Amino acid sequence: MKKLNLKFFILLISILLGTTLLYAVDNNTTDSNNTTVPAVPIHIMPLGDSITYDFRLSDATDPRPTSLRTGYRNHLWYMLKDANYTADFVGSRVAGEAITPHFDPDNEGHPGWTAVELAENTYGYMINSRPDIVLLHIGTNDNAETPDGINNILDQIDAYEGASGQSVRVFVSLIIGGQAAHAIKPFNDNLEKLIKQRIINGDNITLVDMYRTAGLTTSDFIDRIHPNDSGYRKMAQVWFKSLMAPYTPALYAFPRTLVNSALIESLDVNEISHSVTFVTKIPNTGIIFY
């Protein structure tokens, strides 16, 4: 007998699930626009390769002082400060400390590294810096269509959470394209699928669509790979918008209270309407609504 494979489409409009912002802390304050902002520093780790650290191809032969290298980090810092958001950038590397206005130059950017190389060190970075939030942009050097290295990075962050008992929110960015884009679109397509599946499985991840929404053009690149200052400013705006957006963990978790995550095929959360739409296979035991 053939087994009947049924699917069920559910739209939940929630008026009961509470909404939190990215900084789940007890002593928040409110700014002039009545937006909740953290009163204690939130530890943010910019994690990635040369685009995070700010290394350009010309630095290989005529290196700039590291104290002048900022990437998107200084622009993001200024935006957060203007929003009265108290951030503490963390990481084992320092770059951009001579820039004015001053910003927090700590980061975990490693020029030339692949996602696999970064994954081999991620657990140590987490232990040493104990970030609340990770901003991950990696994959430009992978020369591959599969984001296996990023999957390994996320596994290492999960391992750190399990060992430390600390919850970490990870913002994973689709990588930007440049003239040297090897297979950027297929890579990003596969990365998007990976992140959506990990969200279904319960990971505390936000997908950041830097690839499509940053609006980078050829005039925003200093060379065939790396942005110039205007490009980094555009990247910072996308990070900032993602960081400041409302986030409702219960909306993402709700489908798993009904069915096993292995049965969920797609999940879409709309923070504006405070609703979640998901498609699931119906288990043999059925779904019971109370």
Question: Which DSSP category does 170 fall into?
Answer: E
Is 192 found in the same domain as 124? yes
94 vs 17, more confident: 94
Is 256 found in the same domain as 243? no
Is 133 found in the same domain as 188? yes
Q: What is the mean pLDDT of the chain?
A: 87
Q: What is the pTM of this model?
A: 0.86
Is 37 found in the same domain as 174? yes
**Domain total in the chain:** 2
Which pLDDT score, from 0 to 100, does residue 121 have?
Answer: 98
Calculate the dihedral angle through the C-alpha atoms of 58, 78, 212, 145, rounding to the nearest 10 degrees: 50
CA 171 to chain centre: 1
User: Three-state SS for 38?
Assistant: strand
Is 164 found in the same domain as 114? yes
Which pLDDT score, from 0 to 100, does residue 5 have?
Answer: 46
For residues 202 and 261, is the Cβ–Cβ distance under 8 A? yes
Calpha distance 262→74 (Å, rounded): 41
**pLDDT at 89 > cutoff 70:** yes
CATH code of the domain covering residue 91: 3.40.50.1110
Is 56 found in the same domain as 12? no
Is 277 found in the same domain as 155? no
Is 284 found in the same domain as 140? no
Is 210 found in the same domain as 74? yes
Calpha distance 183→107 (Å, rounded): 27
User: Three-state SS for 109?
Assistant: strand
User: Three-state SS for 217?
Assistant: coil
Confidence band for 280, pLDDT divided at 50, 70 and 90? confident
Name the one residue in this structure whose structure tokens are 């957006």: 245
Calpha distance 139→162 (Å, rounded): 25
pLDDT digits (tens, 9 = 90+) for 93-112: 999 999 999 999 999 999 99
Is 58 found in the same domain as 5? no
Single-letter amino acid code for the residue at 13: I
CA 287 to chain centre: 33
Q: Which domain holds residue 118?
A: 28-247
CA angle 266/270/273 to nearest 5° reads: 140
| Tokens standing for residue 29 | 């304050």
Question: Which DSSP category does 127 fall into?
Answer: H
pLDDT digits (tens, 9 = 90+) for 142-174: 988 999 999 999 999 999 999 999 999 999 999
Pairing verdict, β 106-109 and 42-48: parallel
Is 227 found in the same domain as 109? yes
Is 210 found in the same domain as 93? yes
Which pLDDT score, from 0 to 100, does residue 37 have?
Answer: 55
